Amino acid sequence: MADNITHKILRRHLISGDLVPGTDITVAPDQILIEDATGTMAAMQFEELGLDSISVPLAVMYIDHNVLQIDDKNMQDHRYLRTFCERYGLRYSPAGHGISHYIHLERFSKPGELLLGADSHTSTAGAAAMFALGAGGLEVAVAMGGYGFEFPCPRVIGVELIGTVPNAVEPKDIVLEILRRYGVRGGRGAVFEFHGPGLEHLSTSGRATIANMIIETGATTAVFPSDEQTLAWLAQQGREKDFAPLVADDGATYDENITIDLSELVPLVAVPHSPGNVVPVADLPDTPVSQICVGSSVNSSYDDLATVAAALRGHTVHPRVQLTVTPGSRQILQTIIDSGVYQDLMQAGARMLEPVCGPCVGIGQAPLQGDASLRTFNRNFPGRSGTAEDRVYLCSPSTAAASALTGRITDPSSRPPIEPRPAREPDTALHSALITSPRPAEQRAAVLVERGPNLVSPPLPEPIGDDLQARVLIEVGDDISTGDMAPDGAIAMSVWSNIAACARFMFNRLDPGFHDRAQEWGGGVIIAGENYGQGSSREHAALIPSYLGVRVILARSYARIHRRNLIAAGIVPLVLPSGAAEFSVGQLCAFSGLRQALVGGESSICVEVAGHDVPIRAAIDLTEGERAILTDGGLLAHIRSGGRSPVSGSPLPSGVHERVNVKESV
C-alpha cells in the first residue's frame, strides 16, 4: 500500500481503530508538550489518576504564558508545576527560556514521531515531519498516564507547492493563502500534508510558520516531509542523529488535493476580526497603524527577526508607531545578539521583549481602541489583544517591517529586496543548561508537590441523567472562540488554576451577566452558531460551564478541540438543525431520554422549547467512544471505571475512585 506521510506516522502509533476518516482511533504518543496556562489543570487532573509516574518517553512542561507576575499567583503556578515535574518525571523549561513551540522544535522534534500537546499550536512541530496535534489538558494528562490518545481519524489534504516565491512573499503569505481559500472552518477534520518542488527552498523555520497557523483553518495539524531542509535544521541544532528521511510513497493518495503556485502569491493580510478574513495588502484602503508587533509563537525565528532588521537597518520606525519584537526562544535571542540583528532592531527604535508569549495572549502591549495594530501573530479574535475594541491585522515580517517605516499598512513587494544578516551558530548548550532532566525514578516519591491556594482541582461532573430541563443562558453567534469563554490577558489568566475564579470572566465581552445568571439558575443551556469554540485548546472553556451546571450545548457546529473538551468535561455537544427557530434567554428546554439516546446510539433527540410550536430534532453526532465517556460522567470518570485500558505502563492502582488528596503548601 502506498502511504502518505500522515498515514505512515499514524500507522506506526496506532493502538486501535482503522485509518478511516471520522472513525475513532487511539494512538500512543512519543512526546507530550504542556505549557503553564493549560498546564496546571492538566497536572492536577493527572494527579487525579493516582499514578506514580508518566508513561510516555518524553514530556516537557514550558513556562511561557503566565509570567507577568502582577501578584504571587503566577509564581504559585510555577512552583507547583516545577515540583509536579520533579515528582512525576517531566522535564521543565523555566520562565524566560522561550515559547514552547520554538523550543520544542529546536530541542526535541524528531521526524516520524507523534507529539501531543495541551496547546492548539503544538502543530508547529509538523515542520520537522512530526504528527503534532493539540488537545485539552485532561486528554493530554490521560495520554501522559499511558492510556493513549483517542480522536476521530482525520482526512488528509495534499498541498502541492510549486514555483518559487517572489520578492517579499514569505511562508506567512503561504498559510494566509490557505486561510483565504478555506476560512476558519474549511480545514476541520483534516490534516494538511505538504509536498512538491516548492518545498526545496522552504526552511524548517518557514515550515513552522505554516504548521503553526494551519490550525486557524480548523485543521487537526500540518505535516511536512523530512528532507534536506530537515537535516540542515537538525544539524544546526546539533541533532543530526535525530534525522530520519520521511516522504510520501510514490503513488500515495490524498482525500483532497490542492496546488499553490508560489510564484503567483502576493503579500497578504488578515483583517479584523478573523484569521480567515484574508486580502492582498495592496488591496487595503489607506490604513494608518499605531502599533506593530513582531514575534510570539509564530514568526519569531531567527530568519523572521533578521528579515525585519534588514528592512529597518539604517532607518528608524515611523514616529507614530510603537514596534515590539519578541524572540521565540533564548537561543534565538542569543543568536540575534551575536549576529548584530538585535543591535539593528534597537537602533531602529524597536522595543525588545523577552522570549515569552506576551502580547499574543493579551499580556502586555494592548493596543489603542479603534487604532490598527499590525501583528505577525496567528490570531486576531475580538479582544484577544487585551483591548475590547481592538483592530488587529495579521501579516508577514516583511509587511510588518515595511509598515513600521511608513506608519501605514504597506505592501513590501514595492520595496527593493533586502539581505538579512547571516545567522551565527546557535548556542545549543542553553537548552541543556536550563531545561531540567527528569529525576531518577527512585527519588521521585520523596518529592513534595507544592500546591498554593491559587491552585484548585477542577470539578468532577455528575453522569448525564435521562431527563433534563434547563433554561437558555445565552445565545451566541458563529465562530465564538474559547477566548470568549476563558479570556486572555494578565488578570483573567492569572486565575486559570481556579475554575471558580476563572468562571467570573466567561462571556464577559458578550454578556457580563452570564456568570451570575448561570449561578442563580443552577446551570442552563448555551445556544451557539457555527464553529463554536474555535481557537485555543484551553479546556477552561469547557470546565467553566461544567462548573456552572451546563450539561448540554446546542450549536450548529463545533471546533475540534473544544468539542472534545466538552465531552471530556461531561457536557453533551448537540447539533442544531438548519432552520431552527430563534431562542431567547430564559426559554425552558426539555430533553427527554437524553441518557438513553446516548446509550442506545440514537442519531438525534427531541428538544421541546417553550414558545416553539414544533420541537427541535437535535443531532447526536458522537462516536461510540464519545458516548461512553459522556454516559460515564466525563473522561476522568470513564478512565476510573475501566472504560479505557492503558496502552503502556501500569493500570490505575486500587482505591482511586475517590478524589485524590494532594499535599498542599501555602
Give residue 388's pLDDT band: very low, low, confident or very high (50, 70, 90): confident
Residue 627 sits at the vertex; the CA angle it makes with 622 and 632, to the nearest 5 degrees, is 155
Q: In the structure grid, which three cell numbers stand for residue 73, read together? A: 499567583
Mean pLDDT for the stretch of residues 15-37: 96
Residue 653 clears pLDDT 50, i.e. is over it: no
Predicted confidence at residue 275, as pLDDT, reads 95
β 616-619/24-27 pair status: unpaired
Grid cell, residue 665, equals 503548601
Residue 62 is predicted with a pLDDT of: 97
Please compute the mean of the pLDDT values over residues 226-247 and round it to a whole number. Answer: 97
Closest CA to 284 of 167, 171, 393, 181: 393
What's residue 648's pLDDT? 56
How does the average pLDDT of the chain come out, rounded?
93
The per-residue pLDDT for 492 is 86
Query: DSSP state, 281?
Result: G
**Which tens digits make up the pLDDT trace of 34-88?**
999 999 999 999 999 999 999 999 999 999 998 988 899 999 999 999 999 999 9
**pLDDT for 664 beyond 60:** no
- Give the mean pLDDT of 112-134: 97
pLDDT (mean) for 275-298: 96
DSSP E strand boundaries for 320-387: 322-326, 351-352, 372-375
Is the pLDDT at 263 greater than 70, yes or no?
Answer: yes
Residue ranges of alpha helices (H) inside 287-396 are 302-312, 330-339, 341-348
Query: C-alpha cell of 555?
Result: 450549536
230 and 243 Cβ atoms separated by less than 8 Å = yes
Mean pLDDT of 8-13: 97
Task: Report the percentage of the chain scoring pLDDT > 90.
Answer: 87
Q: What is the pLDDT of residues 126-185, one digit of tens each?
A: 999 999 999 999 999 999 999 999 999 999 999 999 999 999 999 999 999 999 999 999
Contacts of 600 (CB under 8 A, 6+ apart): none
pLDDT band at 643 (very low <50, low <70, confident <90, very high): confident
pLDDT higher at 344 or 652: 344
Q: How confident is the model at residue 402 (pLDDT cuts 50, 70, 90)?
A: very high
- pTM for this prediction: 0.94
The bridge status of strand 616-619 relative to strand 268-270 is: unpaired
Lowest mean pLDDT among 12-21, 307-316, 358-367, 555-564: 358-367
pLDDT of residue 269: 98
User: Is the pLDDT reported for residue 649 higher than 70?
Assistant: no
Count of residues making up the chain: 666
Q: Which SS3 state, helix, strand or coil, does residue 575 take?
A: strand
Residue with more model confidence, 664 or 295: 295
How far is residue 562's CA from residue 371's CA, in Å, rounded to a whole number? 31
Say what the pLDDT of residue 666 is. Answer: 25
Q: For the chain, which domains are there?
A: 5-264 (3.30.499.10), 268-411 (3.30.499.10), 468-641 (3.20.19.10)
**Contact indicator for 559, 583 with CB cutoff of 8 Å:** no
Q: How confident is the model at residue 650 (pLDDT cuts 50, 70, 90)?
A: very low
Give the residue-averaged pLDDT of 606-618: 92
What digits encode the pLDDT tens for the residues 560-610? Answer: 999 999 999 999 999 999 888 789 999 999 999 999 999 999 999 999 999
Lowest pLDDT segment from 69-73, 135-139, 321-325, 626-630: 69-73
Residues 263-279 have a mean pLDDT of 97
β-strand pairing of 616-619 with 604-609: antiparallel
Question: Cα separation of 268 and 334, whole Å?
Answer: 30
Report pLDDT for 357. Answer: 87
The CB density around residue 139, as the number of other CB atoms within 10 Å, is 26
| pLDDT level of residue 387 (50, 70, 90 thresholds) | confident
**pLDDT above 70: percentage of residues in the chain:** 97
Q: Mean pLDDT throughout 26-32? A: 97
Instruction: Identify the pLDDT of residue 365.
Output: 86
What's the rounded mean pLDDT across residues 322-339?
96
Residue pair 508/485 in contact (Cβ under 8 Å)? The answer is no
